Amino acid sequence: MTKPKIATDWLAGCSGCHMSLLDIDERIVQLAELADIRATPVTDLKEPDESGVDVGILEGAVNLTTNEEVAHRMRRRCKILVALGDCAVFGGVLTMRNFHKLEDALRRAYVEAESVDGDGKIPSSPELGRPTRVRALDEVVDVDVYIPGCPPDPDVIFYALSELLQGRIPELKDEKLHWH
Ligand code: SF4
C-alpha cells in the first residue's frame, strides 16, 4: 500500500514551528512509517513535486509576495492544508507590523536597530518579493486544519499528523488546544 505523502514549507516566521515538529524526537520514525515525507525546508528537497502530496503543512504568516507564491503552490499541490503555529493560524507576532507604516518598520529593523552595525540597508533584492500587509494563511488560501501555538506543542503536532495520516481530521480541543 502506498503511504500518504507529506510536504512542509515556511512563509514568514522564525522556523520555531519546524523545530517543534522535529521535537517529536523518535516519534519521527513512527511518522516515517505512516507517511512518505516528500519535501521540507530542512531536507534537500525543498518543495512538493508537481504530482502533489496528501498533506501540506505551512508555517508562518504571509508577509511578502513570495510568501503568497509559496502558499498558492502548496495549496495547489496538496489535498489537506495545515496551518502550523500562531503566525499561520492568525498572523501571530508579525501582525504588530501592521500597526506601523511599512517604511518605518523596515527602517527601524534594518537601519536603526541597536544590533545594526551602522551600515544598515533595507534589503531590496527582487528575489525577496515585495512586502505586503501581514496576513494569516487563510486570508490568502483555503486552510483545512489549524494547529495553534507559538510554537505548537510537539505532542499536539504528532497527534494531529497521526490522525491526518490515518485519514481522520484531528479534533484539537481541551488539553490539545494551546494558545501560548
Ligand atoms: S508561531 Fe511562533 S514559533 Fe511558529 S513561526 Fe511564528 S513566531 Fe515562530
Question: For the segment 87-105, what is each residue's pLDDT rounded down to a tens digit?
Answer: 999 999 999 999 999 999 9
Ligand 1 atom at shortest distance from the alpha carbon of 151: 3
Ligand 1 atom at shortest distance from the alpha carbon of 86: 1
Hey, whose CA ends up nearest to atom 4 of ligand 1? 17
Question: Residue 47: what pLDDT?
Answer: 80
Ligand 1, residues 10, 59, 89: which to mutate, most atoms within 8 A of Cβ? Answer: 59
What's the 2 CA to ligand 1 centre distance in angstroms? Answer: 32
Cα–Cα distance for residue pair 21/99, rounded to 1 Å: 31
Could you tell me the pTM of the whole model?
A: 0.92
Distances (CA, A) of 153 to 12, 55, 158, 166: 19, 19, 9, 20
Hey, whose CA ends up nearest to atom 6 of ligand 1? 87
Hey, whose CA ends up nearest to atom 5 of ligand 1? 13
What proportion of the chain, given as a percentage, has pLDDT over 70?
98
Question: For the segment 12-33, what is each residue's pLDDT rounded down to a tens digit?
Answer: 999 999 999 999 888 988 888 8
Is it the case that residue 1 has pLDDT exceeding 90? no
Q: Is the peptide bond before 151 cis (omega within 30 degrees of 0)?
A: yes
Ligand 1 atom at shortest distance from the alpha carbon of 60: 5
Question: For the segment 29-45, what is each residue's pLDDT rounded down to a tens digit?
Answer: 888 888 999 999 988 78
Ligand 1 atom at shortest distance from the alpha carbon of 10: 5
